[in-house]
Structure 1
């Protein structure tokens, strides 16, 4: 039996939550098969299995948070059966008598031309790993007792699928598994009495349905998608979408939604801690500027018609990001970090541009490494890839570290602007507001008039310990100048 322990899926992470098991007890797996999906404090990570065999036991349930290094799955690779299935009988002519070639080796093995042959005594199986840890399995067995793969397991261990989840994981491991803290009790999932495939479990989690309360209509009582959806829409619905089925007559006094509590974990916990650390460490200052970006929108339309951008999704964020990278050349203190312990300011030689992305799992900020060295086409491709991966929840922890300057876009929600909080270790963050058609004064003197224009508001938050008002104002002025007249980019 081989135990697969939860590895560190990122940089220095200490725990992860089991999201979806892709295998069940009895399934055959090959090397590098994806067996489980876990959620860290930064991203969703698919974990491959490093060896082949048959799934013997799942030691963690979906929704459980486990420490790095904790065993989460047991694989039977068949080596135990192979070791115990040595030939019990041999032709006399095939056995070399002791003393013919080097005599009998220590331990009763007979020296062959290469290595050692089988023992002359009755072969006995090496105690299984579970037995060494104090399990209740049988003792050494003779060769004639070798049977099917699961006959090698301790007889007290259930092999039925309905009882195969790790209700006795602590017993088979010789003690309780380390856990980061108490987890909410879920009788159905914890006992392993719920039969449902991983996609159905995911659907139930999204709908807030307790699978232990659902009656399965599939073969053997397995719960199907239809069962979960029917339960969710009926009177038994619970969780975030729970609605009182029998509404009282007369005026309604509440929405009918049930109260609920959720543990703070994953991306939400990481984001909250980072924001608290930043807000109470760096003195924030925010400056605003409202800009006529009509010329930028015209440029965007021109780029969409070009062959180089034909297969790319373009948005104003691309042009604004490019303009911000150019403006940073005149304000290097916005691409720097305050190191209070060393008494130094670290000025970064390149810009790792963070792009804040709202995902179903919360806010994540992956970054584009060396974004200032990319061409406009390369930057567009990088933005497309970054957003696509982030929305799927597949951003890796390494892609969310090392950022030096961040852009966040609240305009996609129709918001005019905001006062963003700095990411820890950065001195500047730019907030993009909604781009709307607004009345705007254009022309000068006798040609002055009001026209509808594309207008947006930009907000820059910065660390006032190393960026003063002059530096922040210069950056916004440079940025606004490029967005108003993109031809000014040729000056940088």
Structure 2
């Protein structure tokens, strides 16, 4: 009998599990080779699991909302007309069994575990995965308690994180001792304002999607980890603007690529990193990890308003044509949700283009574990002083503001300022004799 076992594939460094967000096929369905079976999501990117061969979906071992680990058997395909009587009979319940060390739940006190069967859905109809049910049963959490948990998953599904947070909150929810009322002898300070729950027809409640939650957490963590400082500099990019206007049409005809400003910015950053390599580092405790490669992350806005940062690997080894191809490829695949997990990992420095939305400048948040990020503002025509052999004069120039946020734990103002100045010099001295 032809049988094809499908395992959750490795999806990049540091990714050990994925959430099954949607089952696209069910048991008994026919599939063709490369048909998508299910959609999965990690903390990096969404992707799909394809069928390795044509046949029948004989077994799906996990449900929507489950979190299998890399290497877990997730589905079985057999030839049409065959059965899987001799295949493993692992159920989704068994496949998601959790060791105490994995969920930090201590059973040393030997609590009385309820014999009440755990339901697969709450009273509100929200799905409860086998993983969550296993944790709830081990912690003696009743079905009634599960009904009170507001899930953060898709369609308010209760996730592993939700149940673990509930357990922690339950452990610390110890009644406060009653203290006899005493007369205050010192001035009272105002109590912090309570959170207001907004309801009614004059407001709209929008649930954050999974990516927005990850962005929120990533940005908040960065502010807590790094000591942010931001420096600014004006750059006269008039020669670049004039050069691009002159060569962009021929560039498209010859290379079938649209020439934007982004690859020019990337090239200038790579050259500056070569001169100031201590910008291209990360921090591990009290150690500085210097990278001998340059991978540039480019923040890209998605159609739904979220942000993703695809990475140009070994950007310092590419010429302007190679950078243009990489920038366009990653941007296009990012906008069409076709990036692979490896495409958004391993950056050592990030560039974000605030000018694409009309902003002249901003204070970007460092993309951890990097120690600096460059924001490029909109290119604006402004009056500027022009130095000539005959003396200074005033002219209309294309001016852009660069802002560099850096981690003051390892990057001092001198290094940050010199690095930013070198980027500006690289742009102002851009070789406009290049012909394409």
Could you say whether these structures have the same fold, taking a TM-score greater than 0.5 normalized by the shorter chain as the test?
yes
Q: Is the 8 A contact 1:325 1:372 kept in 2?
A: yes
1:310-349 alignment runs, 5 A limit? 310-340=255-285, 343-349=286-292
Aligned residue for 2:313? 369
TM-score, normalisation: structure 1? 0.59
Q: Is the 8 A contact 1:482 1:488 kept in 2?
A: no
Aligned residue for 2:38? 36
Q: Secondary structure at the match of 2:234?
A: strand
Aligned residue for 1:53? 55
CA 1:73–1:447: 2 relative to 1, 3 Å: same
Distance in 2 (alpha carbons) for counterparts of 1:411 and 1:427: 22
- Deviation at 1:8? 4.8
TM-score, normalisation: structure 2? 0.66
Q: Which of 387, 390, 414 is 2:334 aligned to?
A: 390
Aligned residue for 1:151? none
Aligned residue for 2:130? 177
Q: Is the 8 A contact 2:11 2:342 kept in 1?
A: no
Q: Which of 413, 419, 426 is 2:357 aligned to?
A: 413
Residue segments in structure 2 that go unaligned for 5+ positions in a row: 94-119, 122-127, 136-148, 158-199
Q: Which of 204, 217, 229 is 1:273 aligned to?
A: 217
CA 1:307–1:459: 2 relative to 1, 3 Å: closer
Distance in 1 (alpha carbons) for counterparts of 2:239 and 2:154: 57
Q: Which of 295, 301, 305 is 1:352 aligned to?
A: 295
- Deviation at 1:391? 1.1
CA 1:270–1:302: 2 relative to 1, 3 Å: same
Q: Is the 8 A contact 1:437 1:454 kept in 2?
A: yes
Q: Which of 282, 286, 292 is 2:236 aligned to?
A: 292
CA 1:489–1:431: 2 relative to 1, 3 Å: farther
CA 1:449–1:184: 2 relative to 1, 3 Å: closer
Q: Is the 8 A contact 2:19 2:41 kept in 1?
A: yes
Q: Which of 196, 202, 207 is 1:261 aligned to?
A: 207
1:204-215 alignment runs, 5 A limit? none
Q: Alignment RMSD, CA only?
A: 4.0
Distance in 2 (alpha carbons) for counterparts of 1:6 and 1:134: 14
CA 1:363–1:133: 2 relative to 1, 3 Å: closer
1:176-195 alignment runs, 5 A limit? 177-179=130-132, 183=151
Distance in 1 (alpha carbons) for counterparts of 2:92 and 2:334: 45
Distance in 2 (alpha carbons) for counterparts of 1:290 and 1:475: 14
- Deviation at 1:34? 2.4
Q: Secondary structure at the match of 1:394?
A: coil
Aligned residue for 1:236? none
Q: Is the 8 A contact 1:335 1:347 kept in 2?
A: yes
Distance in 2 (alpha carbons) for counterparts of 1:133 and 1:442: 75
Question: How many residue pairs are counted as aligned between the two chains?
Answer: 342
CA 1:428–1:134: 2 relative to 1, 3 Å: closer
CA 1:52–1:273: 2 relative to 1, 3 Å: same
**What are the Cα deviations for residues 134-167 of structure 1, in whole angstroms up to 9, with x where unaligned?**
99xxxxxxxxxxxxxxxxxxxxxxxxxxxxxxx8
Distance in 2 (alpha carbons) for counterparts of 1:455 and 1:133: 63
Larger Rg: 1
